[in-house]
Homo-oligomer: A and B are copies of this chain.
Amino acid sequence: MPETKYKKDEDFNEWYNEIVELADLCDKRYPIKGMNVWRPYGWKLMNHVDRQIREEMEKTNHQEVYFPLLIPESLFKKEEEHIEGFGSEVYWITHAGTNELEERWLLRPTSETAMYPMFSIWIRSHADLPLKIFQIVNTFRYETKQTRAFIRVREIHFFEAHTCHVDFEDAEKQVKEDREIADRLLKKLCMPYIFCKRPEWDKFAGAFYTISIDVLMPSGRTLQLGSIHQYQDNFSKPYEISYETEGGEHNYCHQTTYGMSERILGALIGIHGDNKGLVMPPAVAPTQVVIIPIIFKGKEKEVLDACEILSKKLAEKNIKSHVDNRDISPGTKYYDWELKGVPLRIEIGPRDLDKKEIILVRRDTGEKKSVSQDASIETITVELDNISKSLYENAKKFLDENMHRVQSVEEAKNKKGIVELPWCGNDDCALEIENILDGNTLGEPIEDDEECKKYSCPMCGKPAETWMRFAKTY
């Protein structure tokens, strides 16, 4: 089988670009930088990921809505930190036709400032709470850094859940639920991840605290897939989102958001792919099983029938399969479907039929085996499950091997991936470590860990309050 020109282990970034192009996921030749055209296969993959998100949202009683793309400048400016954080990144509409607008409108960089004036109307009493909504939309950010398909773009496919609660504690429960959702979702995508409580200087503009969802890419850099924010009443005060309690008091809501972007797709490609192309986790593979008829003259019908019968049986079990009956060589078909990352390939030829067998080939390991036709559905189900497990385990092994708990900056310097250092709690110390390591502060682990208190901050020598994580990031 032909392989990619660039090798994943040798030049990850070039390999990534090559794979995106070969697998025809998006076209970067659109004349605005960082605004790419989603090609059919890329869009299908994204939709399959979105479907998993929608399923999780339904399970947790979030309702899907759609808010307008455009936000008047005056609404956007109500929360001070927010405008400071996003002001330099937004696109402004100033004219409609030949008229100059009375007030400028911006394209949503995220939807807090579009939604919250409406929440203020919608929420009247405690009976309206909690409010749990989400939308899947495109957001827009004026990126000045180098762009990269799915990882750093200017039109971003984005999921955002927004909730309102009676108090801080109820909002905290939501943060917990969001963490569980992220966990279930990323497990389905076979992606190990870490939650980091972002440092003060890097939290979301307007948030009380921010938990990031980060994965480790094969290059050793981390990629932030999304984040969960506790807003307290930071937005509900300027946007006047309050409710009447049972006792007749008026209280401000506490709010949370949970967002994830098309970076999920970037992570899928990068973490699971290999030098033959994509490797799709079965849960989001548009085609989970491809069936290739191996045709010899005189046996065409028998073989094709067997393929179609198997495909129908799989459909009954909700396994998405495709019979590739194109008039080209089996080898070319193998190549195509390996590139697209279809988890399992089945070959059926006349000799297999004589033996009442079919051949299974795993995309991830290349492992090939004959299995009895009678037990094929069960075996296929088990194999898909094995593929998921094995994709997850390999990625988890890589993450574990590249996450280092150390005590000194010197030790940290020589490590690839993520380092955890004891930290005193002083911003300057962390920023100095960033400098020395030429990396970024990811944040603290969200679980308390008393062990770090045995150590001292490598910069100032004061007792450590927590572990702090550092890595090079995308």
Listed stretches A83-91, A301-309, A429-437; interface member: A83-91
User: Contact partner of A30 among B36, B68, B89, CB < 8 A?
Assistant: B68
Residues of B within 8 A of A133 (CB): 40
Residues of B within 8 A of A29 (CB): 118, 121
Residues of B within 8 A of A247 (CB): none
Q: Which residues of A (117-159) have their CB < 8 Å from a CB of B?
A: 117-118, 121-122, 133, 138, 140, 142, 155, 157
Whether a CB of chain B sits under 8 angstroms from the CB of A72 is yes
Given known pairs A29-B118, A91-B96, A96-B142, the reply for A40 and B69 (CB within 8 Å) is: no
Q: How far is the CA of A27 from the CA of B122 in the complex (A)?
A: 10
Whether a CB of chain B sits under 8 angstroms from the CB of A107 is yes
Whether a CB of chain B sits under 8 angstroms from the CB of A248 is no
Task: Assess the B92–A88 pair: CB atoms within 8 A.
Answer: no
Task: Assess the B32–A70 pair: CB atoms within 8 A.
Answer: yes
Task: Assess the A66–B93 pair: CB atoms within 8 A.
Answer: no
Q: How far is the CA of A232 from the CA of B39 in the complex (A)?
A: 25
Task: Assess the A35–B68 pair: CB atoms within 8 A.
Answer: yes
Residues of B within 8 A of A39 (CB): 65
Residues of B within 8 A of A66 (CB): 37-38, 43, 157
Using an 8 Å CB-CB cutoff, how does the interface string of A9-49 with B read, 1 for contact, 0 for none? Answer: 00000000000000000010111100111111001100100
Residues of B within 8 A of A68 (CB): 30, 32, 35-37, 155
Q: How far is the CA of A142 from the CA of B35 in the complex (A)?
A: 23
Task: Assess the B88–A118 pair: CB atoms within 8 A.
Answer: no
Task: Assess the B88–A98 pair: CB atoms within 8 A.
Answer: yes
CB distance from A205 to the nearest CB of B (A): 14
Residues of B within 8 A of A426 (CB): none
CB distance from A378 to the nearest CB of B (A): 22
Whether a CB of chain B sits under 8 angstroms from the CB of A371 is no
Residues of B within 8 A of A142 (CB): 96-97, 99
Task: Assess the B90–A93 pair: CB atoms within 8 A.
Answer: no
Residues of B within 8 A of A32 (CB): 68, 70, 72, 105
Q: Give the contact-size bracket for chain A.
A: 35 or more
Q: How far is the CA of A138 from the CA of B65 in the complex (A)?
A: 14
Task: Assess the A97–B89 pair: CB atoms within 8 A.
Answer: yes
Residues of B within 8 A of A40 (CB): 63-65, 133
Task: Assess the B90–A96 pair: CB atoms within 8 A.
Answer: yes
Residues of B within 8 A of A121 (CB): 27, 29
Report copies per complex.
2
Using an 8 Å CB-CB cutoff, how does the interface string of A278-304 with B read, 1 for contact, 0 for none? Answer: 000000000000000000000000000
The residue of chain B having its C-beta at the shortest distance from the C-beta of A98 within the complex is B88
Q: How far is the CA of A467 from the CA of B210 in the complex (A)?
A: 66
Whether a CB of chain B sits under 8 angstroms from the CB of A95 is yes
Q: How far is the CA of A99 from the CA of B105 in the complex (A)?
A: 15
Whether a CB of chain B sits under 8 angstroms from the CB of A181 is no
The residue of chain B having its C-beta at the shortest distance from the C-beta of A26 within the complex is B66
Task: Assess the A138–B93 pair: CB atoms within 8 A.
Answer: no
Whether a CB of chain B sits under 8 angstroms from the CB of A75 is yes
Residues of B within 8 A of A47 (CB): 64
User: Contact partner of A93 among B36, B65, B92, CB < 8 A?
Assistant: B92
Task: Assess the A97–B105 pair: CB atoms within 8 A.
Answer: no
Given known pairs A64-B43, A92-B94, A93-B91, the reply for A69 and B118 (CB within 8 Å) is: no
Whether a CB of chain B sits under 8 angstroms from the CB of A67 is yes
Q: How far is the CA of A98 from the CA of B122 in the complex (A)?
A: 34
CB distance from A109 to the nearest CB of B (A): 11
CB distance from A417 to the nearest CB of B (A): 33
Using an 8 Å CB-CB cutoff, how does the interface string of A223-256 with B read, 1 for contact, 0 for none? Answer: 0000000000000000000000000000000000
Residues of B within 8 A of A94 (CB): 92-95
Task: Assess the B70–A35 pair: CB atoms within 8 A.
Answer: yes
CB distance from A235 to the nearest CB of B (A): 17
CB distance from A326 to the nearest CB of B (A): 14
Q: How far is the CA of A193 from the CA of B140 in the complex (A)?
A: 38
Task: Assess the A93–B96 pair: CB atoms within 8 A.
Answer: no
Q: How far is the CA of A279 from the CA of B191 in the complex (A)?
A: 45
User: Contact partner of A31 among B35, B69, B75, B88, CB < 8 A?
Assistant: B75
Given known pairs A96-B142, A142-B97, the reply for A118 and B37 (CB within 8 Å) is: yes
6 residue pairs of the A-B complex, CB under 8 angstroms, read A31-B75, A32-B105, A37-B65, A87-B98, A91-B93, A92-B96
Spell out A's residues near B (CB within 8 Å): 27, 29-32, 35-40, 43-44, 47, 63-70, 72, 75, 87-99, 105, 107, 114, 117-118, 121-122, 133, 138, 140, 142, 155, 157
